[in-house]
Amino acid sequence: MSQRKRTEIAELGEFGLIDHLTRNATTSSKHTLRGVGDDAAVVAAGRNDATVISTDTLLEGIDFDLTYFPLKHLGYKAVVVGVSDILAMNALPEQVMISIGVSAKLPVEALEDLYEGVDFACKELGVDLVGGDTTASMTGLVINITAIGRAKRKALSYRSGAQFNDLICLTGNLGAAYLGLQLLEREKRVLKDVANPEPQFAGYEYLLQRYLKPRARKDIVDILAEEKIVPTSMIDISDGLASEVLQICKASKCGARIYLDRIPIAKQTTALAEEMHIDPVVAALNGGGDYELLFTVPLAMQEQVMRLGVVDVVGHITRETTGAYLVTPDGSDIKLRAQGFKEE
């Protein structure tokens, strides 16, 4: 019997692995409007509407560290992570399901805290917790969240709709969540052997909040609906600007130019980045965890989107053959690279 070839996951990277595993996932139901490849799957619901569904998993030790992540915040963040993918389709979230794998090291009270955060986020975002599953975990805490939303089919924004010359718009600022994480990790290292640790967070509360309690930008989807703007494409920033721009480029078969000096970065992000010898732009490009929305609109809508006062235009869409680049203030072009869960 011939031995099956062994391929290391690192050879494919996260996105290569997803592509590889889902290469046979063709869709056959006429109700499946979009399968793998976007922030959420899209299922027909009546003639004009669609249901959008997304799932995400958070693992202790990989996605969060319980030594500094309060469980209440973790519950809140889990809902935000799920709902953010629904919003990225320009849909409104309606329900979530949460499954947990719990290790015996956690008391019931800790899980009560987790669910206090879940309930808080659900009420804030107007979604119903409608189910889930509970199992034991041999390793650490596992949280899976499935989010469900709804939109008019015509109002959906896919990753694949960006057109040549479209403007690339971004909400909020980037890199703050990554710096918040770096700050928590630094204090954890410094205070490892201290009896009564008193971490130094003064002045950087905003960064901690961005990492521990990110916001889902439902406000943006509401504003876009009020203004009758349907982005030609949209994605949420879970992995970092570079990775998300590349996802849009791949799905839309286009290139992009992002202008470095237009990437919005908060003052506290820059301040801590300097202190920690981190390039804030690298944090924005590759840090991830900001859960802002990146979307494209036709060039003709420039004034209208600028008037909203909630987005920055950070670049524009180019031809596929020209690739995806970061343009520095001195005019040089740097090729954008994705990160995923493995450094590539």
Residues making contact with ligand ADP (CB under 6 A): 18, 21-22, 36-39, 56, 85, 238
Binding of Mg ion at residue 39 (CB under 5 A)? yes
Cα distance between residue 58 and residue 25, in whole Å: 24
Least separation in angstroms between residue 67's CB and ligand ADP is 26
Picked from ligand ADP, Mg ion, none, the partner binding residue 21 (CB below 5 to 8 A depending on kind) is ligand ADP
Judged by CB under 5 A, which of 166, 236, 239, 292 binds Mg ion?
A: 236
Residue 147 or 283: the one with the smaller Cβ distance to Mg ion is 147
CB of 234 to ligand ADP, least distance (A): 11
Nearer residue to ligand ADP within complex by CB, 156 or 301: 156
Phi and psi angles of residue 268, each rounded to the nearest 5 degrees, phi first:
-65, -35
38 contact, one of ligand ADP, Mg ion, none, CB 5-8 Å limit per kind: ligand ADP
Cβ nearer to ligand ADP, comparing 171 with 238: 238
What does 130 interact with, of Mg ion, ligand ADP, none (CB < 5 to 8 A by kind)? none
Q: Is 265 exposed, middle or buried (0-12, 13-18, 19+ CB in 10 A)?
A: middle
Point out the residue whose Cβ comes nearest to ligand ADP. Answer: 39
Identify what 56 binds: Mg ion, ligand ADP, none; CB under 5 to 8 Å per kind: ligand ADP
Q: Cβ-closest residue to Mg ion? A: 39
Q: By CB under 5 A, is residue 166 in contact with Mg ion?
A: no
Q: Which of 66, 136, 129 is nearest to 101 (CA)?
A: 136
CB 310 within 8 A of CB 171: yes
Q: Which is nearer to ligand ADP, 24 or 196 (CB)?
A: 24
Name the residue among 53, 15, 67 with its Cα closest to residue 239.
15
Kindly state whether residue 244 participates in binding Mg ion, applying the rule CB under 5 A: no
From the list Mg ion, ligand ADP, none, which binds 171 (C-beta under 5 to 8 Å, kind-based)?
none
Partner interacting with residue 59 (select from Mg ion, ligand ADP, none; CB below 5-8 Å by kind): none
Closest to ligand ADP by CB, 117 vs 289, is 289
Mark the segment that binds Mg ion (CB under 5 A) among 109-117, 214-222, 236-244, 322-330.
236-244
Contacts for 173 with CB less than 8 Å, ≥ 6 apart: 264, 265, 266, 269, 284, 290, 292
3-state SS, 219-274, equals HHHHHHHHCCCCCCEEEECCCCHHHHHHHHHHHHCEEEEEEHHHCCCCHHHHHHHH
SS (H, E, C) 83-149: HHHHHCCCCEEEEEEEEEEECCCCCHHHHHHHHHHHHHHHHHHCCEEEEEEEEECCCCCEEEEEEEE
Give the nearer residue to ligand ADP in terms of CB position, either 39 or 292.
Answer: 39
Among residues 38 and 113, whose Cβ is nearest to ligand ADP? 38
Q: Which of 88, 305, 264, 240 is nearest to 173 (CA)?
A: 264
Helices 176-190 and 205-212: crossing angle in degrees, nearest 10, is 100
Q: Which is nearer to ligand ADP, 168 or 272 (CB)?
A: 168
Q: Three-class SS of residue 275?
A: helix
Least Å distance, CB 5 to Mg ion, is: 32
Query: Min. distance of Cβ 28 from ligand ADP in angstroms?
Result: 16
CB 77 within 8 A of CB 214: yes
Would you call 310 helix, strand, or coil by DSSP? Answer: coil
Q: Which stretch binds Mg ion (CB under 5 A): 35-43, 122-130, 139-147, 186-194?
A: 35-43
Which residues of the chain form contacts with Mg ion (CB under 5 A)?
A: 39, 85, 236, 238
